[in-house]
Amino acid sequence: METDRFQPVRFDSGGRGPYHARAMGNPLLQRRAPQELAASRELIEIKAKVSDFERLSETIAKDLRPPDRDGLPDDWRDSIVSGQLRFGFNAAQGDLPTASGQAAVTIAAVCQRCLQPFSLPLQAELKLVFGEGGGGDYEQWELDDDQLCPADLIDEALVMALPLAAMHDAESACKAMTVAEEKPGRMRTPFAGLKAQMGKEN
In this chain, which of 57, 113, 147, 152 binds Zn ion, going by CB under 5 A? 113
Q: Which stretch binds Zn ion (CB under 5 A): 43-51, 85-93, 105-113, 192-200?
A: 105-113
Distance CA 97, CA 87 (A): 7
Note whether 110 binds Zn ion by CB under 5 A.
no
Q: Is residue 114 part of the contact set for Zn ion (CB under 5 A)?
A: yes
Minimum CB–partner distance for residue 108 and Zn ion (Å): 14
Stretch that binds Zn ion, among 19-27, 57-65, 122-130, 166-174 (CB under 5 A): 166-174
Cα 76 from chain centre? 11
Nearest to residue 138, comparing CAs of 100, 95, 89? 100
Coil, helix or strand at residue 5: helix
Residue 111 sits in the site that holds Zn ion (CB under 5 A): yes
Query: CB of residue 201 vs Zn ion: minimum separation in angstroms?
Result: 41
Strands 80-90 and 96-110: antiparallel
Contact between 64 and Zn ion by CB under 5 A: the answer reads no
| 174 is an interface residue for Zn ion by CB under 5 A | yes
Task: Write down the least CB distance from residue 171 to Zn ion, Å.
Answer: 9
Cβ-based neighbours of 116, under 8 Å, separated by 6 or more: 110, 168, 174, 175
DSSP 90: E
The total of other beta-carbon atoms located within 10 Å of residue 61's CB is 13
**Listed residue (64, 69, 22, 16) closest to 43, CA to CA:** 22
What is the distance between the alpha carbons of residues 23 and 120, in angstroms, rounded to a whole number?
A: 36
| 44 belongs to the binding site for Zn ion (CB under 5 A) | no
- Smallest separation, CB 115 to Zn ion (Å): 7
- Residues 96, 130, 155, 168: which binds Zn ion (CB under 5 A)? 168
Closest CB to Zn ion among residues 125, 171: 171
In whole angstroms, the minimum distance from the beta carbon of 168 to Zn ion comes to 4
Binding site for Zn ion (CB under 5 A): 111, 113-114, 168, 174
